[in-house]
Chain A
Amino acid sequence: MSSEIEVVQLDHIPSRHVIHLALFQDVGNAEFLHKQLLSRNADFEYAFVDASVIVSRLHLLSAVFKAVTSASNDVLKTPNVHSEIVANLAASNNVRNHAHSVIQMTDAPQIAEAYRRYGVSTATKNLVAVKVAENGSPSTEQIAEHLAKNVEGTQVPATDEKLASTADMSKVFKYYKLNGLNWLDKIKDHSAKQKEVEMLVVGAMALRGL
């Protein structure tokens, strides 16, 4: 098993943060990984995301962008940048409400709900792992090796095609409240529709916590 991992360069991120991204298919030890997070094992500081709720790189990387920006501005709402990535995947719960009755997603139950929905669970089949290193620590090699050793699964490039194929759109529609949008259902062209869904998902995330 080769230990390689993608290093993602994002615009408008301070250069001391280096983002690592990996996608694992047919994960055999989700239960073990979930347990490491629950017990706050410091060796497992990753954003472990269930790939079924991710529609594209733009979707996932939007959560990463926001988390790293918050970390560098020192305004994290969760214990660290990795938990923040998972929490950031949650949709704003105020999209349907009127401008003034805004419920802030800063309280613990809502963050716990985000971990449950978007984070690794014992049922996870395909897993996205994100690791944000700071000032070269840990190194890319260390991250690649640690993941290869601890995640039982087939590592594949995290392309848009792969992510689209591992997405569970009924879950995505439910979590991002996209059911019942008639104009969306009417779009015939598959890729045009995917793009609209992606934009709505990203928009819902951008509003979260505001």
Chain B
Amino acid sequence: MSGDFPLPPILQTPCSSEPVLITQGAEGRLYKTTYLTPNLPCALKYRPPKPWRHPTLDARLTKHRILSEARILSRCRREGIRVPGVYASDEVGGWLMLEWVPGAPVRVRINEALGDRQSGIEEDEGLKDLMRRIGKAIGDMHAVGVVHGDLTTSNMMLSPKPLNEVDGEPEGQKGCLEGEIVIIDLGLASGSLLIEDRAVDLYVLERAFGSTHPRAECIFDQVLEAYNGTFKQAPAVLKKLEDVRMRGRKRSMIG
């Protein structure tokens, strides 16, 4: 199954296996396919032309998004941050081929682990440890001067083994909270060392987390606590986060 729309031209070429549509977002689609050989899975991130936009402007925007994501991914990778590597890209064709990250989005694993529980979440050491790994992953990324711009639990994968030990398999088990956090979807990321930008990054995650996992909101502090220990300016970022929250609250009262 590849969805109801035509495949992007790059996926209409011969391939050892059928591409699989993984997600279809507002901006683009993500397929699982292979890079070069049948045993190397990859993620193809495709931004189709937007017929409602002026074609020249559309081409320019697509090109910009592809380039900026490719650059920031490579930069993170060079700094030793766990993000998917870039295999290939085509800014005119509107696609990026990325290293396949086995596992599942953190959102999925958290929801599996929560099940229909209403209590005992605050004492769930497995979940709390996952929260701390998230905080550490974000801190490490901020420490090298990158802010993500769209931190959510869908934009992080929980990968059962370190990336470099994996050759495509396995995807890990349902509800399993073990594994490594891999940050993905750096389409809105940028280079920044500003305390403010980092605080906003955390705020975006905090808000997204609260609405995606309301029952787990009580353990979100673990993210911040772990973040606090990751780099020198982290305490200042957390201090700034309080201001950002305040502004957010005021804005929602007015707006």
Contact = CB atoms under 8 A, between A and B. Distances in A.
Nearest to B17: A11
A27 interface: no
Interface in A88-146: 92, 94-95, 98-99
Contacts of B80: 181-184
Interface string A192-205: 10011001101110
A206 B78 contact: no
Nearest to A206: B86
Contacts of A61: 36
Given A203-B85, A210-B71, A95 B78 contact: yes
B90 interface: yes
Query: Looking at chain A's contact residues, is the secondary structure mostly helix, strand, loop, or mixed?
Result: helix
Given A12-B10, A58-B36, A192-B164, A200 B78 contact: yes
Contacts of A95: 74-75, 78
A202 B36 contact: no
Contacts of B25: none
Interface range on chain B: under 10, 10 to 19, 20 to 34, or 35 or more? Answer: 35 or more
Interface stretch (A33-41, A42-50, A62-70, A164-172): A62-70
B14 interface: yes
B59 to A, nearest CB: 14
A98 B191 contact: yes
Given A181-B78, A195-B164, A202 B87 contact: yes
A183 B164 CA distance: 14
B246 interface: no
A125 to B, nearest CB: 27
Given A58-B40, A69-B90, A203-B87, 4 more contacts: A11-B13, A199-B99, A199-B164, A206-B87
Interface of A: 9-15, 58, 61-62, 65-66, 69, 73, 75, 92, 94-95, 98-99, 181-184, 192, 195-196, 199-200, 202-204, 206-207, 210
A138 B101 CA distance: 39
A202 B78 CA distance: 12
Contacts of A210: 67, 70-71, 89, 91
B140 to A, nearest CB: 10
Contact of B73 (A10, A11, A13, A203): A203
A3 B92 CA distance: 40
A206 B68 contact: no
Nearest to A94: B71
